[in-house]
Structure 1
Amino acid sequence: MATLFNSNGSKVQLGKKIGGGGEGNVYKIISTDKTAAKIWHEKKPKKKQNKITIMAESSSDSLRKVTAWPLDTLHKTKGGDVIGFIMPDITGYNKLHDFYNPSNRKKKHPNIDWEFLISICRNIAASFATIHAKNHVIGDVNPGLIFVSNKTVTKFVDCDSFQIIHNKITYPCRVGVQNFTPPELQKTKDFSKVLRTKNHDNFGLALLIFHILMMGRHPFSGVYSGNSDMELRVSIQKYLYAYSSNTSTRLKIKPPPKSISVDMLPNEIQSFFEKAFSQSGSLFNRPTAKEWIKALDRFRSQLKKCRSISTHKYYNKLTSCPWCLLENKGVTYFYKKSFNINKYWDGAQSAISLKITKINFNQEFNKIKSLASPGPTKITFPSLFKPCKEKPFNLTILNTYKEIIPKQLKTQMPGQLFFSADEKKILKKRKGRKFQSIFLFLTTIAPSYYFSLNIKAQVTQILLVVLAFILFSYKSSKDKKIDKKKKEHTNQKKQATVELLIQNKQIKSEIVGRINSTRLPILSTIKSAELKLNKGISSNKNNLKNLKNQWESNFNDTSFNTTQKNLTSSYKKYKNIKLDYNAELHTINIKAKDDQFNYYMQSTYINDWKIKGIGPKKKRGLYIHGIQVASDISSWAVDRVPGFGEKHTQTMLDWKYQMENLFVFSPNNAITLSQYKRLKNKYLKLKLGLERKIINESDKLEQINKQRLQKNDKLTDSINKLMHKLAQDEINLEEFKRKYINI
């Protein structure tokens, strides 16, 4: 084993190699279990050596808690060049990738939940805050820098790449992982010439937290709306945050299919991501590590545990478990804890075969069957009378008022119009003249329809027509007197008709007034009295009907029969509990093979396998379009991914078929612990509930008769009193009718 020297010239004995990378290897130090040595592959420039010396001299307890910070320099010879450094040993810590990547988590940490991942995020933010408090900048932020313990404690490695400022001399971070580099630095070719800021680190911090909470998804990786996929570096450079709520961004890029929705996160966390990944955030305005610590602590305190699967924890403002909804869609991120049912089988059998000691159920059931309903209590109700109808009044009294009608109207209609003999002759001559004029007119006009007349004939024709008109219209003085006589007679008839109508109306009004002043007050009084009697009878009949309904509802067999039927059903269910339990357990075992197969296919990640002809670029294309595991593969899904033609689609279908053939069913893991507990609790709860029901309800049948007798006394008295009052009211009404209605 190699022997080196520290800055004091003391010997440092190296042990076995425990790690390594592109810059150097890491070895155990034999003299202690708490430290390790990082030895570079190549000699470093003097400035790099000075940087490590300064870092070792500025080491502090707070830095050592969260990083593998250089503790001392290492040299081949005393006082020689720095070839490496001593740092805290991080044995027992795991790569961050093993926790947030679903495939790695299934293999190495299958029982952790979202709360565990949130705690990791919180501790990463705390580590950032500690480093920034010392005025250092990480620079090359990426998941490879971070290791995590099983208690969520985080440690940063490769600290010699951090940006350090000492005595106004900057020792820059010379490297950067493109997928974690801020948009404003994406075009940088030489990081050694860039002064990194804490705001640059804050971008990487937000990206790490997103990566962990969103199951390894990159915030700038999504489905681009253009004709081809966009490179991740270009998406970062253009601030195209795929999960943004910004409408203009959403039109350009969307989250991949089957990815987790940011709506699963509190609004505060969502706004932090929006701010960190936006262009405005690049102006020294991204959420700081301290702000992330507070937000993540609040988030962790707001988690809720799923009732179905213990490893499902989610934000308590959500109405249902989002992890269960994702599993229903064929996406599994947190895994159920399985166990061997055979270890618990004896207990399961004995739990179901427990017997109640309070009562002998066979004897109790025979007692239930032997009880018979006593039947309804006998009582005779009076027949409900039909409502009494009001009889029409006899209005013979109107004959008393005949004398008020006058025998003769004051106005008389004029008689028929008569003409004298001379007037009749004049009327006859007038009729003759009119006939002659009409004849003259027709004989004059007729020739023009058949012959074409000359001007002289036409003039003669016009003169004859004028003569006919004059003859038709002519009236002598005697004619005019006769017309005047006719008009006067017509006016007299009209005037007489109007006067007669007025006189009739006055007479009718006088008759009605006299009737109303004498007859109607009497009739109103009689009618009011009759209505009052009828109303009282109707009210009593309704009351009697209500009492009858109460009687029937309280004293029928429904309560007894229902109770006996329910208890019989409960007893049969109680006897079949064990059979039902075994049947459901059998169903679970039958379904187990399908569940295990689906679970296996959902947990077989494409990135974990070498597939001929499918390189990293094509795998990333599948990933962006929501095809991550074997169960996602279908001819339709793969064929729509850009770059996948018929050949590559068939390659993926063949690989899926190969994975299906590798599946092996495990009968011992057919049921999960949570399933077993739910099944056991379900039937124990059912058993105890039925026992209580049978015990508590069996006495109810014996109490029904006692209750009926107690209520019988109260209702009988009320019914008898009401029946007596109703009979008396009926007699009163008949007597009233006899005396007063036919007046």
Structure 2
Amino acid sequence: MSQPPHYNLFDSRGNHVPLGKKVGSGGEGDVYEIAPHRMDVLAKIYHRPLTEERQEKLRLMVSGCNDDLKEFAAWPLDLLHAGNNGPVCGFVMPRIIDCEPIHKVYGPSHRKESFPNADWKFLVRTAKNLAAAFYIIHKYGYVVGDVNEGNILVTKKACVRLIDCDSFQVQTHDKIFHCEVGVAQFTPPELQKSKDFKMLRTQNHDNFGLAILIFLLLFMGRHPFSGVYKGTDDMPIERAIAEHRFAFGRSAALKAMSPPPNSVGLSVVPGEVSSLFEQAFAESGIQSWGRPSANDWWNVLDALEKRLKKCPTESMHTYYTGIATCPWCTLENSSGILLFLSSDTISRIDVAAEWQKVLVIKPPGPIPEINPQKYRCLPAPLSPDIARALKFRKVLQVAAALLLIISAGLMVGPLWTGTYSTKDLAGLVPAVIAGFLLMYPGRDTAEKKRRKKEFEDARYSWRLWEKKWKAEAGDAEFTAQLGALTALKGRYETIEQEYKNALVTLQHTSRERQEKKFLENCFIDTCTSSKLGENRKATLRSFGIETAADIAPYKVMSIPGFDTAMTTELMNWRKQQENRFVFDEGKGISTSDVQGLIHTFQPKIRPVERELLIGIEKLHAIQQKIFKNRVKFQPVIEKSARDLAQAHASLSAFRLTGKIF
């Protein structure tokens, strides 16, 4: 039986269906527009005649179509027959536009081209919508079966659409229409060794592939079973899956596995999300309903989306609020890989305008000088008794002084002439008497001690207040903050100038930049080498090699299972792509080149920006605090100075000498 001509197509109601231009082609059939003016649907026409079983399967899918399925999938809407009432040769399905394959969302290089405005929140939402799509498929009793990155599309709004739905497993109460295809990188362990996919698939099998895709989305294209294997033999992804070697899991070390370089771990997601990954990839997952369902995933991803925050350094970075610092900044800085495209400029502020705010903040100036020595105080008056006692003490002091002079005269003569003898010790008697006179406890002694205590207390209080006055009302803090801001402004301007210089350098290296840009668009997926199957391509992508630009001998050789021959093969393919490059002299600096510079300089300038903005606010706050403290403390400080001056004057009535301030 030969395939009927495409112009002889009829729908289930016997209406003629004319085809328009071909818009796609696959292994099983071609996809066409339906003429005229049917922009909402497409027609898939198979290359070969369908078996009765395949025709019956399509009839069941069309009869089971509903609004839920149409929202998430290119579901068969109607059958197409070869001739009126002839055999089924195709079907009508919804037209899905403005979509890209899901791997262009989670792969950083693809994402920068296809989804330049996507951040991690976009990836989380895509994962959530993917779970919703699987939930709907499972809700109506269908099984995807062939879960893989090629039959899932994503819109610019993170909506998910499933295609190739005619390969899904369809089951009635007495018959199963199998999904007869599969991709090893998304096939659960219990099916890995199967040579024939014509078997009963379960939703639990789908849940394994769903968990793989969600992991790829949340972890920047890293396959959960592609890591660094500590053994000496080869560890391809399908073997790692079969042996439950989850490279990011709690038991990874026991399985001789560890995550690949330049990747993040499960700590970037909440515990409930990481627990679902552990459950999905654990050995217990092979049991019936052992893996998280699509609904389980939707619930935790919906909660995660609500618990995201923006990075203070890079606005395009969003991350889980449960971790202290942005993991994407850390990963970008350590790996040099641009995970998300930044905004159009390296800076968010106009530094000249911000500096004007600094200039209008009036410096408080030197602190007003307050000194106890400037206060002239009279001693507190003495009582008559104390005054008489003090006069008597002064008489005693004069007498004691005369006795000391006499004693000195009696002792110096013999010492001078060298005739000193024991009888000359009598010369010490006047000195002893003088000592008794000076030690005589007159009635003024207590008053003197009291005034001395008042003076010492006043001096101690003054020193404390003087220190507080200089610290909190002086301009030292303001001057220091102004100096720090000036240094920050200088750092900002230096980085800004370095960025401008780098832009000039870009203009001088346009050929190299254009070639790099060209190679970044030569994706590994397009390599047709017989040595590079889909499994090895997935491994390369998991280790961050997505394009020809990523290929370097040291990178390839560091991947387990990639030897010298494979490295040479990849380098030859890169060389082939380089030979295809044609330099365009009239082409300016590309947006992605500028974005690369922005990525380099933003982490440098954004912290300076933030410090500058906070520092300006702090400078104003310091100024206000100083003015407030001067008003608040000056009366107290002046009183303390006067108290010390008065205590000093009162104590001076006893004619004490020495440094007292």
Please give the TM-score of this superposition, normalised by the length of structure 1: 0.64
Higher mean alpha-carbon deviation, 210-219 vs 57-66, is at 210-219
Offset of residue 113 of structure 1 = 1.2
- Measured on the aligned residues, the alpha-carbon RMSD in Å equals 4.9
Q: 2:246 aligns with which of 221, 241, 246?
A: 241
Q: 1:47 aligns with which of 21, 45, 53?
A: 53
Q: Does 1:270 align with 2:274?
A: yes
Q: 1:288 aligns with which of 283, 286, 293?
A: 293
Q: 2:220 aligns with which of 186, 196, 215?
A: 215
Contact 1:311–1:335 (CA under 8 A) maintained in structure 2: yes
Q: Does 1:73 align with 2:79?
A: yes
Deviations 1:158-217 (A, max 9, x none): 11111112352221111111221111112222222x111111111111122112212222
Contact 1:163–1:171 (CA under 8 A) maintained in structure 2: yes
Q: 1:261 aligns with which of 235, 260, 265?
A: 265
Alignment of 1:542-553 (within 5 A): 544-553=455-464
Amino acid at match of 2:524: N
Offset of residue 614 of structure 1 = 8.3
Q: Does 1:173 align with 2:179?
A: yes
Counterpart of 2:524?
Answer: 607
In 1, the alpha carbon distance for the partners of 2:337 and 2:359 equals: 46
Q: 1:644 aligns with which of 563, 569, 573?
A: 563
In 2, the alpha carbon distance for the partners of 1:242 and 1:564 equals: 58
In 1, the alpha carbon distance for the partners of 2:531 and 2:550 equals: 17
Q: 2:639 aligns with which of 707, 710, 717?
A: 710
Counterpart of 2:334?
Answer: 329
Q: Secondary structure at the match of 2:461?
A: helix
Amino acid at match of 2:353: A
Contact 2:472–2:626 (CA under 8 A) maintained in structure 1: no
Offset of residue 325 of structure 1 = 1.0
Counterpart of 2:409?
Answer: none
Alignment of 1:147-162 (within 5 A): 147-162=153-168
In 1, the alpha carbon distance for the partners of 2:157 and 2:193 equals: 39
Counterpart of 1:731?
Answer: none
Higher mean alpha-carbon deviation, 700-709 vs 130-139, is at 700-709
Counterpart of 1:390?
Answer: none
Alignment of 1:265-664 (within 5 A): 265-284=269-288, 285-332=290-337, 334-339=339-344, 348=350, 351-352=353-354, 354=356, 368=365, 373=369, 375-377=371-373, 544-555=455-466, 559=470, 563-565=474-476, 582-590=493-501, 607=524, 615=532, 633=552, 635=554, 638=557, 643-645=562-564, 648=567
Q: Flag the 1:726–1:255 CA change in 2: closer, same or farther, 3 A.
A: farther
In 1, the alpha carbon distance for the partners of 2:641 and 2:80 equals: 105
Q: Aligned residues, how many?
A: 565
Contact 1:375–1:556 (CA under 8 A) maintained in structure 2: no
Contact 2:454–2:647 (CA under 8 A) maintained in structure 1: no
In 2, the alpha carbon distance for the partners of 1:56 and 1:300 equals: 35
Deviations 1:547-587 (A, max 9, x none): 32222343589729982555566777888997675444224
Q: Secondary structure at the match of 1:26?
A: strand
Contact 1:373–1:557 (CA under 8 A) maintained in structure 2: no
Offset of residue 282 of structure 1 = 0.7
Offset of residue 709 of structure 1 = 2.8
Offset of residue 358 of structure 1 = 7.2
Contact 1:27–1:38 (CA under 8 A) maintained in structure 2: yes
Contact 2:358–2:616 (CA under 8 A) maintained in structure 1: no
Q: Flag the 1:642–1:535 CA change in 2: closer, same or farther, 3 A.
A: farther
Normalized per residue, the structure richer in helix is 1
Deviations 1:199-237 (A, max 9, x none): 111111112211221222222222222212223222222
Contact 1:226–1:252 (CA under 8 A) maintained in structure 2: yes
Higher mean alpha-carbon deviation, 100-109 vs 265-274, is at 265-274
Q: Secondary structure at the match of 1:377?
A: helix
Deviations 1:293-325 (A, max 9, x none): 111112222222211111211221112111111
Alignment of 1:55-66 (within 5 A): 55-66=61-72
In 1, the alpha carbon distance for the partners of 2:489 and 2:261 equals: 45
Contact 1:555–1:708 (CA under 8 A) maintained in structure 2: yes
Alignment of 1:3-14 (within 5 A): 4-14=9-19
Q: Secondary structure at the match of 2:195?
A: coil
Contact 1:40–1:83 (CA under 8 A) maintained in structure 2: yes
In 2, the alpha carbon distance for the partners of 1:163 and 1:561 equals: 78
Offset of residue 722 of structure 1 = 8.3
Counterpart of 2:24?
Answer: 19
In 2, the alpha carbon distance for the partners of 1:355 and 1:88 equals: 59
Contact 1:635–1:649 (CA under 8 A) maintained in structure 2: no
Offset of residue 622 of structure 1 = 5.8
In 1, the alpha carbon distance for the partners of 2:555 and 2:337 equals: 22
Contact 1:323–1:332 (CA under 8 A) maintained in structure 2: no
Unmatched runs of 5 consecutive residues or more in structure 1: 383-529, 728-743
Offset of residue 695 of structure 1 = 7.0
In 1, the alpha carbon distance for the partners of 2:261 and 2:115 equals: 25
Amino acid at match of 2:91: F
**Identical columns (%):** 32
In 2, the alpha carbon distance for the partners of 1:44 and 1:636 equals: 46
Contact 1:25–1:40 (CA under 8 A) maintained in structure 2: yes
Q: Flag the 1:316–1:41 CA change in 2: closer, same or farther, 3 A.
A: same
Offset of residue 241 of structure 1 = 1.9
Contact 2:101–2:153 (CA under 8 A) maintained in structure 1: yes
Contact 2:72–2:162 (CA under 8 A) maintained in structure 1: yes
Q: Secondary structure at the match of 2:201?
A: coil
In 1, the alpha carbon distance for the partners of 2:506 and 2:334 equals: 13
In 2, the alpha carbon distance for the partners of 1:605 and 1:375 equals: 79
Higher mean alpha-carbon deviation, 223-232 vs 107-116, is at 223-232
Amino acid at match of 1:644: D
Offset of residue 589 of structure 1 = 3.4
Counterpart of 1:132?
Answer: 138
Offset of residue 326 of structure 1 = 0.7
Counterpart of 2:431?
Answer: none
Contact 1:634–1:653 (CA under 8 A) maintained in structure 2: no
Please give the TM-score of this superposition, normalised by the length of structure 2: 0.71
Counterpart of 2:395?
Answer: none
Counterpart of 2:200?
Answer: 195
